[in-house]
């Protein structure tokens, strides 16, 4: 296969530390296992990403590109573009755990992606929604304690990926079976003295991240090599279309 299989990793930590270390461990494992893989790291650190206001502007605008449909002015378009232009073969999202979930930066990043799906429901938008049907996706999380909400955070990531049409994967190793179960989970206080790089001492957490990296890579390669199968849908008038027709009549 001449063309590289591309995996994009997105880290939402506000610091250069444990979550970034975990994500880069997964990306390195993907490249080491499969020479046809290339990876790209996207950090949300120091980026301004506002929460979605549900203002509906992305349903009416006709911007220069799909990522510019969102009316909010910040750094979201810049950091989401690697997921859209072009759509990657694999995506790994990594977040620190805040109150048993992803942090607000990752949450805002995901919420704003609603504008990417609006072309499905609003035909006047002059762009097509990204086709993630051949994109493998996995999740990583770093919590303060071993059982500090990592699984909940990873499930939030996987739910987002499935909603966007991606092929979500867990962290089942071909020899050792389910390692991190839902994804790669590590903890900061592994040595009893927490620090920005203490995850390096979490052998099991790093192992689970590598499993995710290899799993996303292998799935991405299989999806890229799979034959084209026509997508099948059916005629359907959504409640939104009916509502708009009633308003215009």
* pLDDT, tens only, 197-228: 888 999 999 999 999 999 999 999 999 999 98
The secondary structure element, H or E, covering residue 172 is: strand 172-173
In the 8-state DSSP scheme, what is residue 174? T
Pairing of strands 177-178, 172-173: antiparallel
Average pLDDT of the residues in 137-145: 94
State the pLDDT at residue 123: 87
Residues linked to residue 11 through DSSP beta bridges, in sequence order: 43, 94
Average pLDDT of the chain to the nearest whole number: 92
Name the more confident of 233 and 41. 41
Q: Please give the radius of gyration of the chain, using alpha carbons only, rounded to the nearest integer.
A: 19
Residues 198 and 189: beta-carbon distance below 8 Å? yes
Average pLDDT of the residues in 177-182: 90
Name the more confident of 145 and 164. 164
Nearest Cα to 187, choosing from 14, 13, 19, 11?
19
In the 8-state DSSP scheme, what is residue 195? -
State the pLDDT at residue 77: 94
- pLDDT score of 162 more than 70: yes
Task: Express each pLDDT in 37-87 by its tens digit.
Answer: 999 999 999 999 999 999 999 998 888 999 999 999 999 999 999 999 999
State the pLDDT at residue 247: 60
Task: Express each pLDDT in 119-134 by its tens digit.
Answer: 998 988 999 999 999 9
- Take residue 123 and report the two structure tokens written for it: 């035909």
State the pLDDT at residue 193: 73
Please enumerate in sequence order all residues whose Cβ is within 8 A of that of 226, keeping only pairs 6 or more positions apart, or say none: 134
Average pLDDT of the residues in 223-238: 87
Cα–Cα distance for residue pair 33/60, rounded to 1 Å:
45
- Take residue 151 and report the two structure tokens written for it: 């699984």
Task: Express each pLDDT in 99-114 by its tens digit.
Answer: 999 999 999 999 999 9
Residues 215 and 158: beta-carbon distance below 8 Å? no
- pLDDT score of 243 more than 60: no
Cα–Cα distance for residue pair 56/240, rounded to 1 Å:
13
Beta strands in the chain (DSSP E): 5-11, 37-43, 90-98, 101-102, 136-143, 167-168, 172-173, 177-178, 184-187
Task: Express each pLDDT in 1-34 by its tens digit.
Answer: 467 999 999 999 999 899 999 999 999 999 999 9
What does the domain layout of the chain look like in residue ranges? 5-248
State the pLDDT at residue 139: 98
CATH topology of domain 5-248: Rossmann fold (3.40.50)
Instruction: State the Cα angle at 106 between 104 and 111, rounded to 5°.
Output: 90
- pLDDT score of 234 more than 90: no
State the pLDDT at residue 241: 63
């Amino acid at each position: 296969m001449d063309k590289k299989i591309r995996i994009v990793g997105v880290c939402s930590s506000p610091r250069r530390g444990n979550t970034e270390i975990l994500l880069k461990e997964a990306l390195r494992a993907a490249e080491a296992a499969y020479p046809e893989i290339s990876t790209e790291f996207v950090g949300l650190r120091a980026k301004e990403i506002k929460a979605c206001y549900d203002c509906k502007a992305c349903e009416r605008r006709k911007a220069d590109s799909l990522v510019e449909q969102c009316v909010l002015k910040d750094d979201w378009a810049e950091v989401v573009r690697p997921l859209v232009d072009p759509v990657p073969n694999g995506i790994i999202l990594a977040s620190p755990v805040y109150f048993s979930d992803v942090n607000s930066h990752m949450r805002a990043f995901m919420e704003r992606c609603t504008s990417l799906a609006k072309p499905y429901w609003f035909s006047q938008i002059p762009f097509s929604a990204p086709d993630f049907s051949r994109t493998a996706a996995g999740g990583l999380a770093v919590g303060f304690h071993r059982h500090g909400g990592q699984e909940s955070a990873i499930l939030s990531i996987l739910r987002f990926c499935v909603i966007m049409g991606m092929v979500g994967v867990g962290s089942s190793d071909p020899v050792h079976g389910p390692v991190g179960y839902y994804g790669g989970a590590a903890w900061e206080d592994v040595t009893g003295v927490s620090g920005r790089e203490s995850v390096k001492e979490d052998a099991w957490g790093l192992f689970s991240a590598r499993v995710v990296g290899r799993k996303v890579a292998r799935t991405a390669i299989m999806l890229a090599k799979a034959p084209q199968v026509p997508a099948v849908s059916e005629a359907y008038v959504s409640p939104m279309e009916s509502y708009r027709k009633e308003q215009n009549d």
